[in-house]
Amino acid sequence: MPDRLTLSIDAMGGDNAPDMVVEGICLALEQITDVQFMLFGDQDKLNALLEKFPKARAASRVFHTDDVVSNQEKPGIALRSGRQSSMRLAINAVGRGEADGVISSGNTGALMAMAKFVLKTLPGIDRPAIATYLPTIKGGSVMLDLGANVSCDADNLVQFAVMGEVFARNMLKIDKPTVGILNVGEEVLKGNDAVKQAAQILSETHLPLDYYGFIEGDDIGAGTVDVVVTDGFTGNIALKTAEGTAKLFGHFLRKSLTSTWRAKIGAYLSKKALLDFKKQVDPRRYNGAMFLGLNGICIKSHGGTDAVGFANAIQVACDLIKTSLNENIKTDYAKLTGEFGEDLL
Amino acid sequence: MPDRLTLSIDAMGGDNAPDMVVEGICLALEQITDVQFMLFGDQDKLNALLEKFPKARAASRVFHTDDVVSNQEKPGIALRSGRQSSMRLAINAVGRGEADGVISSGNTGALMAMAKFVLKTLPGIDRPAIATYLPTIKGGSVMLDLGANVSCDADNLVQFAVMGEVFARNMLKIDKPTVGILNVGEEVLKGNDAVKQAAQILSETHLPLDYYGFIEGDDIGAGTVDVVVTDGFTGNIALKTAEGTAKLFGHFLRKSLTSTWRAKIGAYLSKKALLDFKKQVDPRRYNGAMFLGLNGICIKSHGGTDAVGFANAIQVACDLIKTSLNENIKTDYAKLTGEFGEDLL
């Protein structure tokens, strides 16, 4: 472990970039001191921003490029024509060992394609998956895939289960995380072919992970399992549905608490508690998803995030680097494939 | 329209049946007076319950059967061996014209299989879909399919779009409801083949419906469109994820508002507002999903619902019968297929 971590940042990715990137660095530095940044993007804009945030400037180096991957760009085209983009150069820094991890709030598909091309996947992994930490009634869980793979077969889901289990062990500090597959019912005969076959593999092959069985959508928030496994289409929609529901809930709550004077006085007295509550459900606290299965730490920050969310993504990156996540995945995965044969997974 | 509606009820379906069924009828009768019930199930249990609820007894007739479809039963097996089940007999009553609609809180797959077999689908519809009303920031939307079809092709999704549009026009009383397809991004190149092809059909064939384009999970709660179209796997998981998120949100809110004395006093003063809020997000208020595309009104109530939720399902059934929903779908669908050719849909 080096004394100081180095993160390479796609400073132009995201709706509010590069402002929220520099401000986010500044916020992160209030919590983490042993980190420095390589910022890839428009040097004029970045230097002007760093002027305003001397603390961020002291911890950052700027690497100029004019090229940015747009949100509309197809992954394949971004991969071929975006070789000088801020996203690609930031990834390259990890590939060359100059940085310990990369963060981007840009185009998810392009980021995945480039990261897979530059960093390669870990041994035994066909397709990387996007994983994140989610709050639950019991504390927190890990969910994957959140959008890297719009269609998945049973083998992909089994690989996600194994990677997710290691991720949860490192992130949540649980000895034996439980793993469930997201489905439309708990009964074994429910669902599509991919989930049914994956469930059969996980049940019958006695992999050394605690397979719980099928779970349903409401089990995510309930925290029924520590690791929620699903394909990227369903996972992305479930995650964003949860975000939208939280917003709707907040909307109804605000409306009710401002409906009468009595309610307003009550809300005033409960202000601190309501702010604590708001903080707990703030999606920015959970910003920073991991591209799991790559030979390098690559964090996808939400495209619409602000400085607070970006600071959280920096925190996630630092935590994962410090726990040597990828080394642990490699070791555990090798153990599994060694015991059960490469072709099983 | 008859003077009095008749609903046939699978009185044994659901975790809390038959108690919640009889209590739910009693609650519903406080709001609706022009309705009577045919209850199918265990006559000893039902008569004992009806003794306790004279109001429900006055509006109900009991039809005895010992047989019940279990939640674990495969749809095909239920269809063959459940001919004397409470579910099947309740559906038969609609098929024979003795009832105007049927409600069951039992096994969703079995209910769909039986209802499709007995009632048949409307002309031009390959597969029925489960649709429900959902609260949004803008008011309310309709979403389908919620679990009838775990995998759907583009034609299925287009049919859901047309049926959902008619449903929304009748349920939400909107002249020209907007229709969106749920996807992992708004860009046309995102998603799996089914959603991409369905989007192309809806964009290019100039169907007389207001096609908005792709929407994402957070657009459901935001109310971006009036009709959310998706396959049954994703729709079921999205709906249940929203329910789970609402529960999680409630959990955090309760914890915050009981954390200090000051918060407790504030919450006490806001009690009425908080109860109003609770009522707004209470999933029981939205219980009662419609099997859209069948030649008869068939309502699926949540398996875990209680009397309040079941009363809401009765309300939904009565509303849909009174607006002649199926006649409107038939007329509109015939217009569409007439103008654009049967094979288009």
CB B218 within 8 A of CB A246: no
Please tell me whether residues B193 and B236 are part of one structural domain: yes
List chain B residues with CB under 8 Å of A139. Answer: none
List chain A residues with CB under 8 Å of B135. Answer: 248, 252
% pLDDT > 90, chain A:
65
Q: What is the pLDDT, as a whole number, of residue A137?
A: 94
CB A131 within 8 A of CB A325: no
Cβ–Cβ below 8 Å for B192 and A150:
yes
Helix (H, G, I), strand (E, B) or coil at A249: helix
% pLDDT > 70, chain A:
96
CB B152 within 8 A of CB B231: yes
- Classify residue A79: in a domain, yes or no: yes
Q: How confident is the model at residue A188 (pLDDT cuts 50, 70, 90)?
A: confident
Q: How confident is the model at residue B338 (pLDDT cuts 50, 70, 90)?
A: low
Min Cα distance B75 → chain A (Å) is 10
Cβ–Cβ below 8 Å for B74 and A219:
no
Residue A85: both structure tokens together: 């983009």
Per-residue pLDDT tens for A82-117? Answer: 999 999 999 999 999 999 999 999 998 899 999 999
A129-136 and A139-144 strand pairing: antiparallel
% pLDDT > 90, chain B:
65
B289-292 and B297-300 strand pairing: antiparallel
Q: What is the pLDDT, as a whole number, of residue B199?
A: 94
Cβ–Cβ below 8 Å for B245 and A249:
yes
Mean pLDDT of A181-193: 86
Give the N- to C-terminal CA distance of chain A in Å, as an integer: 31
Cβ–Cβ below 8 Å for B267 and A262:
no
Q: What is the pLDDT, as a whole number, of residue B123?
A: 83
Cβ–Cβ below 8 Å for B244 and A259:
no
Of B230, B239, B276, the CB nearest to A217: B239
Half-sphere exposure of residue A46, counting CA atoms within 13 Å on the CB side? Answer: 24
Q: What is the pLDDT, as a whole number, of residue A338?
A: 62
Q: What is the pLDDT, as a whole number, of residue B79?
A: 93
Q: How confident is the model at residue B345 (pLDDT cuts 50, 70, 90)?
A: very low
Q: Any residues with CB less than 8 A from the CB of A107 and at least 6 apart, and which?
A: A13, A69, A70, A71, A73, A75, A78, A87
User: What is the rounded distance in angstroms from the CA atom of residue A162 to the CA atom of residue A263?
Assistant: 49
Q: Is the pLDDT of residue B256 over 50?
A: yes
- Classify residue A161: in a domain, yes or no: yes
Q: What is the pLDDT, as a whole number, of residue B340?
A: 53
Structural domains in chain A (count): 2
Mean pLDDT of B287-312: 92
Please tell me whether residues A147 and A240 are part of one structural domain: yes
- The DSSP output letter for B139 is E
Cβ–Cβ below 8 Å for B151 and A269:
no
Best of A15, A70, A132, A241 to disrupt the B interface (most B CBs within 10 Å) is A241
Residue A332: both structure tokens together: 């555990």
Please tell me whether residues B243 and B315 are part of one structural domain: no
Please tell me whether residues B116 and B231 are part of one structural domain: no
Q: What is the pLDDT, as a whole number, of residue A336?
A: 65
Q: Is the pLDDT of residue A340 over 60?
A: no
Mean pLDDT of B147-172: 90
Cβ–Cβ below 8 Å for A249 and B187:
no
Q: What is the pLDDT, as a whole number, of residue A345?
A: 43
- Classify residue A342: in a domain, yes or no: no
- Residue B155: burial class (beta carbons within 10 Å; 0-12, 13-18, 19+): middle
Cβ–Cβ below 8 Å for B187 and A72:
yes
Range scoring the smallest mean pLDDT among A231-245, B11-25, B281-295: B281-295
Please tell me whether residues B131 and B265 are part of one structural domain: yes
Of A184, A240, A249, the CB nearest to B236: A184
- In the block, tokens 């995650």 appear at A239
Q: Is the pLDDT of residue A176 over 60?
A: yes
- Classify residue B208: in a domain, yes or no: yes
Min Cα distance A298 → chain B (Å) is 20
Cβ–Cβ below 8 Å for B256 and A266:
no
Please tell me whether residues A112 and A132 are part of one structural domain: no
Min Cα distance A230 → chain B (Å) is 11
Cβ–Cβ below 8 Å for B263 and A280:
no
Q: Is the pLDDT of residue B237 over 70?
A: yes
Please tell me whether residues A256 and A305 are part of one structural domain: no
Q: What is the pLDDT, as a whole number, of residue A339?
A: 55
List chain B residues with CB under 8 Å of A274. Answer: 256-257
Mean pLDDT of A6-14: 96
Please report, for the domain that includes residue A221, its CATH number: 3.40.718.10
List chain A residues with CB under 8 Å of B262. Answer: 269-270, 272-273
Min Cα distance B150 → chain A (Å) is 6
Best of B218, B239, B260 to disrupt the A interface (most A CBs within 10 Å) is B218
Per-residue pLDDT tens for B270-298? Answer: 888 888 888 887 878 888 899 999 999 99
- Classify residue B176: in a domain, yes or no: yes
Q: Is the pLDDT of residue A264 over 50?
A: yes
If residue A3 lies in a helix (H) or strand (E), which one and from where to where?
none
Min Cα distance B202 → chain A (Å) is 21
Q: How confident is the model at residue B344 (pLDDT cuts 50, 70, 90)?
A: very low
Question: Residue B298 carries which side chain, given as an amino acid letter?
Answer: C
User: What is the rounded distance in angstroms from the CA atom of residue B284 to the CA atom of residue B313?
Assistant: 9
Best of B196, B230, B241 to disrupt the A interface (most A CBs within 10 Å) is B241
Please tell me whether residues B101 and B208 are part of one structural domain: no
State the average pLDDT for chain B: 90
User: Which residue from A minimizes the CA distance to B146?
Assistant: A184
List chain A residues with CB under 8 Å of B269. Answer: 262-263, 265-266, 269
Domain of residue A314, residue span: 1-125+293-323
Residue B90: both structure tokens together: 């309740």
Of A71, A136, A269, the CB nearest to B269: A269
Min Cα distance B177 → chain A (Å) is 21
Per-residue pLDDT tens for A54-74? Answer: 999 999 999 999 999 998 888
Please tell me whether residues B105 and B231 are part of one structural domain: no
Q: How confident is the model at residue B205 (pLDDT cuts 50, 70, 90)?
A: confident
Please tell me whether residues B56 and B157 are part of one structural domain: no
Min Cα distance B234 → chain A (Å) is 6
If residue B129 lies in a helix (H) or strand (E), which one and from where to where?
strand B129-136
Most confident of A148-152, A185-189, B6-10: B6-10
Q: What is the pLDDT, as a whole number, of residue A156?
A: 92
Helix (H, G, I), strand (E, B) or coil at A8: strand
Cβ–Cβ below 8 Å for A248 and B222:
yes
- Classify residue B329: in a domain, yes or no: no
Please tell me whether residues B111 and B159 are part of one structural domain: no
- Classify residue B249: in a domain, yes or no: yes
- Classify residue A303: in a domain, yes or no: yes
Q: Any residues with CB less than 8 A from the CB of B206 and at least 6 apart, and which?
A: none
Per-residue pLDDT tens for B40-79? Answer: 999 999 999 999 999 999 999 999 999 999 988 889 999 9
Q: What is the pLDDT, as a whole number, of residue A1?
A: 45
Cβ–Cβ below 8 Å for B237 and A182:
yes
List chain B residues with CB under 8 Å of A191. Answer: 150, 233
Please tell me whether residues A87 and A102 are part of one structural domain: yes
Q: What is the pLDDT, as a whole number, of residue A337?
A: 64
Of A74, A259, A268, the CB nearest to B276: A259
Per-residue pLDDT tens for A138-158? Answer: 999 999 999 888 889 999 999
If residue A244 lies in a helix (H) or strand (E), which one and from where to where?
helix A232-257
Q: What is the pLDDT, as a whole number, of residue A344?
A: 47
Cβ–Cβ below 8 Å for A151 and B192:
yes
